[in-house]
Structure 1
Amino acid sequence: MRNKLNHTNRIIAEGYQPTEDDLFYSYAPTIGLDGHMIRLGKVKYDLLELPGHRIFRRKWSDYFRFTTVVVFLIDLSELCNSAFYTGHLKNKTISVYEQVVQHDLLSRSGFILLFNKKDVFDDMACGFDFKKWSTNLRSGQDALSSYRMLFLSASPPKRSYTHVVSLLNAPKLGFTLADSLQRIFKYNSQNAIIS
């Protein structure tokens, strides 16, 4: 939204052509279920992308039964949104994550937390007053560290990994995810319950 407000005259001008930044800052939610088969090395994975809107969250548990790893995407730009502190976003993301982590069908699953939109967060954090959230936060980096710790404290130990990324500019994301997946699978195999 801030990008659009800062560039209103350019956007409403006749002959306007969207720039890469205009497209980047636009919002397009995931709608419906999106499935992919990915290969990391010799291993194939079925990847299901589930939309995060509350209407779709009611159906998430339908897909939990055979879930080995949950990749939970967190929009860092919400830290620079007033609603995060007083409105509809207050505690929303962490509450949703806590519900997912505590679900019985995910009691042995690993969790990869992707704190996304780092570049947008960095742009928006300049001059933003994070003391609305906590008086000891002096910078965007302090807020980011505190937010990560909030999620880590709600995460299962030894089965959770966090990464701060910009998914539009993440050339090594595959390696990052593969490393986290290997750690989770290793932990699961070492702690397998034989029945």
Structure 2
Amino acid sequence: MFAATPEETSGWTLQDTDGFLEYQLRHGRTGVRTEVVDAGFIAPPSHVAEALRVPEGTDVFALKRVRYLDGEIALFSTNWFPRQIGDVVAGATDVLDGSGSLNSTLRQAGHTLNSAQRVIHALSAPPEVAENLKVADDQAVLRIRSRSWDQNDVLFDYYETWVLTDVVPLEVKVAAAN
């Protein structure tokens, strides 16, 4: 038997309120790059309208990004926002060119993450995901779907992130309830 100090975190802790970029920077990793693949108002797929609690056919803002860590593709994300939040993101040129923090932009607009619900599945990569992650269509990838509420209990963000866990392991911290 032996005792060891826990390893320094090397992944992304899902219960953290920071996004991927902020989490990596907070832990001293500066090799994060964001490529915006697409951004604009769209009629959302039904699962998005349901998750955001907007009527079918109501335009939402979609932001699709590929994130790199130390030169390697790490994840592909799509965030969807209701119209009012989407207007804020649509006006954030630094977010749209991949140089700015989406979470900072949302916080500045008054939407600080207070709670989130995240669901993780291992699935075969759909064609758009496989193309952006540069993997085979049948490769298993972890998908995280998350809905975020702000301090006023306003649902302001729904995202779907596909993570290559060989590049960015997902971490979950466990603590006893008091």
Q: 1 or 2, which has the higher strand percentage?
A: 2
Q: Same fold (TM over 0.5)?
A: no
The structure with higher relative contact order (CA 8 Å, sep 6+) is: 2
Find the structure with the greater CA-based Rg.
Answer: 1
Give the TM-score category using the shorter length: under 0.3
Query: TM-score, normalization: structure 1?
Result: 0.23
Q: 1 or 2, which has the higher helix percentage?
A: 1
